[in-house]
């Protein structure tokens, strides 16, 4: 046993003695009772609060809580699948001497993008880290074969932080393994959450470990939480020696503790072995010690320690770790991946020696309708994919493709394809399908400390100076603006705080602190120098330059048909001559400040409804039809319509309509501006938020409206140049424009800005002159 581990065990013994009770007796009493009988009321309240935040649905949280407190041990079969994904982030640490020969082993796990957590007594200094390696997939395959591990260098020169008091160390890990063939980002990481309430006394815990440096093993739900203290948790377990640095999980595969030491059984002041002898450190290994309980450092205490140290808390690799909240975690998959990383094949197909996985196939299950007629069913069908098949392009990224098909299932079992709209036709065509197979995904994550602190935001002079300048809107009810606060190294004047302008790369946002959505989002948009990058993954971030109480996070969007809709569209920010910077600018639109609830079919561009495509293609059509030759830029300002009668969901009123103002340079070299309103009222009225039917045509409606009407709806004043009214540049403000706007007469459901029967049905209906 190493000197460091002996010291860790001595500290654990000291803490156990200060408990005022015998851990062995306590373990026996807890094992015979459900959590409801052994946990305190305060701890149960904390647990319920945590589940509410994690699940986002009071009903789901209540079901989970009831199962926990009564000791219901049944788990969904998916528990094992999710555990397999979590296990990817658990690595074996190989400690090497100056000659390169192994001198010891431990376990560690990734808690951030390139950040490994283990014990201080495993890696106590930078020199130890420099000589160590972290091995992924040092384990056996599903077929029982030894996998060839991926070996990563540790990089203490990039990040190294250690706490002897709490026995933990953070160290950076190289992006590529030593062979250069494999990327660390494929492993994902396990988020550390600072909020308490992740487990109750009596709950069963799981540990993934490399005991004595052996291949990865798991001790599933044989680890019962016995007792907690400020810094540590005690749990009964079958964890073996050499498992220092292992993650301790709750039922949702969230890390509750960093395993670091045990409480050995003692007799006459001497540690006992599993065969009832006095332990002899000179001749006995750690595996001979009889442990009565183990001790882990609480995840919340580690996060608290990191947050309290400004130097480490603002480190570019650590800042996202300490900023992660329980609402950021998806309970279905509590493992996080870098932007652009596809969810891995569970059997680690890149590891040598893996068997071929059969292709995915689709099944359609349908029951006969009561009337005996044909039945329509929507089926999500993944593209067939063999993990080991040869790719024609070695740089090609394999991604799942989903296509919704409408099928007729007759009473005799005959299945036929219902005719769809333009969207289905395009997707089913060979040319379109071939074009969509390839996804060029660039990894360019946003770091608020580096990217937002220096961001200039929306540029009023993006189109030019003088009368080509388009100013940020003026908010009439300034008392609604969410004030700024100093963050990310930025300090703000009193005037800047009151104005509340949050600057990002290429766009700016002002938040409504009462409604917790943006008042507006203003963007500089260009169709020049588009890199044509189609692959994407969204990682949504808080902006701590305003209070998080003024932002709505992912908990609002779970278990319903709301999507996290961008105001400034992600696609509109993906421009520039540097593809990496273009992707980073686009990724920067994934902030809760730029997010509003939009029905999923509208937001994900899956609807065949022409109104959806009208709304999403407005800017490009306008530039193609009425811009100065060679000009491919526009100023686009977007926001929700806040109405006093807006419906309420999960105690938050959500908007039914959105407005958009588009400003560009006309062929005469002067500005022109048009405004639009889109309503999602009809689809929500008809189908609500809890189900996902096939979307009908006409459920959405896009309207062209005078800019003056948008000013009234949104409580804003739009100006250009030297505070001249932008509404004077609107074609609908002219007599000719008002005449042309009356030519469209189609039925629509009345709403606020969308009241009337003049919804757009095609781009040509837009009045531009």
Which stretch of 184-188, 221-225, 447-451 has the lowest confidence by average pLDDT?
221-225
* Residue pair 537/339 in contact by the 8 Å Cβ criterion: yes
In terms of average pLDDT, the best of 415-419, 518-522, 612-616 is: 518-522
Encode burial over 382-404: b for 16+ CB neighbours within 10 A, e otherwise.
eeeeebeeeeeeeeeebbeeebb
One CATH from 2.70.170.10, 3.30.70.20, 3.40.1400.10, 3.40.570.10 for 448-532+540-765: 3.40.570.10
Residue 315, both tokens: 């480190």
Beta strand segments in 54-137, E: 90-96, 102-112, 115-118, 133-136
* Residue pair 661/707 in contact by the 8 Å Cβ criterion: yes
Mean pLDDT over residues 605-631, rounded?
A: 49
Fold: same for 1-332 and 448-532+540-765: no
- How many residues are listed for the chain in this entry? 769
* Residue pair 571/527 in contact by the 8 Å Cβ criterion: no
* Residue pair 586/573 in contact by the 8 Å Cβ criterion: yes
CA distance 659 to 765: 17
Distance, C-alpha 177 to centroid of its chain: 25
Which stretch of 79-83, 237-241, 358-362, 442-446 has the lowest confidence by average pLDDT?
358-362
Mean pLDDT over residues 559-568, rounded?
A: 76
- Quickly state the pLDDT bin for 511 (edges 50, 70, 90): very high
Residue 327, both tokens: 């609402």
Residue 317, both tokens: 């690799």
Specify the 3-state DSSP secondary structure of 615: helix
Mean pLDDT over residues 46-54, rounded?
A: 89
CA atoms within 13 A on the CB side of 114: 22
* Residue pair 626/669 in contact by the 8 Å Cβ criterion: no
Specify the 3-state DSSP secondary structure of 432: helix
* 97, pLDDT greater than 50: yes
DSSP state of 404: E
* 413, pLDDT greater than 70: no
- Quickly state the pLDDT bin for 686 (edges 50, 70, 90): very low
- Quickly state the pLDDT bin for 681 (edges 50, 70, 90): low
- Quickly state the pLDDT bin for 212 (edges 50, 70, 90): confident
Predicted local distance difference test score (pLDDT) of residue 692: 33
CA distance 276 to 289: 9
What are φ and ψ of residue 92, in 5° steps? Answer: -85, 130
CATH code of the domain made up of 1-332: 2.40.10.120
CA distance 635 to 628: 14
Which percentage of the chain shows pLDDT scores above 70? 65
- Quickly state the pLDDT bin for 521 (edges 50, 70, 90): very high
Predicted local distance difference test score (pLDDT) of residue 503: 96
* 370, pLDDT greater than 80: no
Please report, for the chain, the start and end positions of each structural domain, with discontinuous segments joined by +. 1-332, 374-386+396-419, 448-532+540-765
* Residue pair 317/159 in contact by the 8 Å Cβ criterion: yes
Specify the 3-state DSSP secondary structure of 140: strand
pLDDT, one tens digit per residue, over 172-183 is 999 999 988 889
């Amino acid at each position: 046993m190493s000197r460091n581990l002996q010291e860790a065990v001595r500290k654990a013994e000291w803490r156990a003695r200060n408990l005022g009770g015998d851990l062995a007796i306590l373990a026996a009493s807890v094992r015979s009772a459900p959590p409801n009988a052994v946990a305190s009321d305060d701890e149960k309240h904390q647990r319920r609060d945590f589940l509410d935040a994690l699940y986002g649905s009071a009903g789901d949280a209540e079901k989970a809580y009831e199962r926990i407190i009564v000791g219901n041990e049944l788990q969904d079969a998916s528990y094992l699948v999710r555990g397999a994904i979590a296990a990817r982030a658990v690595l074996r640490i190989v400690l090497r001497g100056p000659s390169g020969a192994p001198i010891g082993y431990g376990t560690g796990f990734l808690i951030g993008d390139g950040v490994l957590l283990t014990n201080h007594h495993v890696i106590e200094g930078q020199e130890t880290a420099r000589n160590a390696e972290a091995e992924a997939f040092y384990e056996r395959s599903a077929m029982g074969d030894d996998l060839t591990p991926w070996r990563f260098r540790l990089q203490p020169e990039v990040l190294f932080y250690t706490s002897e008091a709490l026995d933990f160390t953070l160290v950076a890990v190289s992006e590529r393994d030593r062979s250069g063939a494999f990327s660390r980002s494929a492993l994902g990481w396990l988020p550390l959450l600072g909020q308490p309430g992740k487990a109750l006394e009596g709950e069963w815990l799981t540990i993934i470990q490399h005991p004595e440096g052996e291949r990865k093993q798991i001790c599933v739900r044989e680890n019962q939480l016995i007792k907690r203290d400020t810094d540590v948790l005690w749990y009964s377990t079958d964890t073996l020696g050499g498992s220092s640095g292992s993650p301790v999980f709750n039922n949702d595969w969230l890390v509750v503790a960093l395993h670091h030491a045990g409480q050995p059984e003692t007799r006459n002041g001497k540690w006992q072995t599993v065969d009832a002898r006095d332990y002899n450190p000179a001749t006995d290994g750690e595996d001979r010690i009889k442990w009565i309980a183990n001790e882990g450092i609480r995840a919340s205490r580690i996060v608290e320690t990191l947050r309290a140290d400004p130097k480490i808390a603002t480190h570019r690799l650590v800042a996202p770790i300490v900023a992660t909240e329980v609402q950021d975690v998806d309970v279905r998959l509590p493992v996080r991946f870098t932007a652009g990383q596809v969810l891995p094949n569970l059997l680690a197909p890149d590891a040598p020696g893996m068997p071929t996985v059969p292709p995915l196939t689709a099944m359609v299950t349908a029951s006969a309708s009561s009337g005996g007629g044909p039945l329509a069913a929507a089926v999500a069908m993944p593209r067939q994919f063999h993990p080991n098949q040869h790719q024609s392009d070695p740089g090609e990224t394999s991604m799942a493709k989903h296509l919704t098909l409408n099928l007729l299932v007759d009473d005799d079992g005959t299945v036929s394809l219902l005719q769809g709209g333009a969207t289905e036709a395009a997707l089913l065509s060979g040319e379109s399908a071939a074009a969509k197979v390839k996804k060029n995904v660039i990894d360019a994550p946003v770091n608020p400390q580096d990217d937002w602190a220096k961001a200039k935001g929306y540029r009023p002079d993006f189109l030019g100076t003088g009368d080509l300048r388009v100013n940020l809107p003026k908010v009439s009810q300034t008392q609604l603006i969410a004030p700024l606060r100093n963050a990310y190294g930025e300090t703000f004047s009193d005037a800047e705080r009151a104005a509340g302008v949050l600057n990002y790369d290429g766009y700016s946002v002002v938040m409504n602190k009462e409604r917790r959505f943006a008042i507006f989002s203003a963007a500089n948009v260009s169709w020049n120098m588009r890199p044509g990058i189609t692959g994407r993954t969204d990682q949504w971030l808080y902006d701590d330059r305003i209070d998080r109480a003024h932002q709505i996070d992912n908990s609002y969007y779970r278990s319903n048909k709301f999507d996290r809709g961008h105001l400034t569209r992600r696609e509109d920010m993906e421009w520039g001559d540097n593809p990496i910077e273009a992707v980073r600018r686009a990724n920067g639109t994934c902030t809760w400040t730029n997010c509003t609830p939009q029905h999923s079919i509208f937001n994900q561009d899956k609807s065949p409804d022409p109104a959806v495509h009208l709304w999403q293609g407005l800017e490009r059509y306008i530039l193609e039809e009425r811009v100065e030759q060679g000009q491919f830029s526009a100023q686009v300002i977007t926001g929700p319509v806040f109405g006093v009668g807006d419906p309420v969901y999960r105690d938050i009123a959500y908007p039914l309509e959105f407005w958009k103002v588009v400003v560009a340079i006309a062929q005469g070299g002067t500005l022109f501006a048009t405004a639009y309103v889109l309503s999602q009222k009809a689809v929500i009225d008809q189908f609500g938020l809890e189900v996902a039917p096939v979307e009908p045509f006409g459920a959405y409606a896009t309207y062209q409206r005078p800019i003056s009407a948008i000013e009234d709806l949104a409580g804003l004043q739009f100006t250009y140049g030297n505070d001249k009214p932008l509404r004077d540049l609107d074609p609908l403000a002219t007599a000719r424009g008002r005449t042309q706007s009356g030519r469209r007469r189609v039925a629509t459901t009345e709403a606020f800005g969308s009241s009337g029967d003049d919804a757009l049905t095609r781009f040509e209906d837009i009045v531009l002159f």
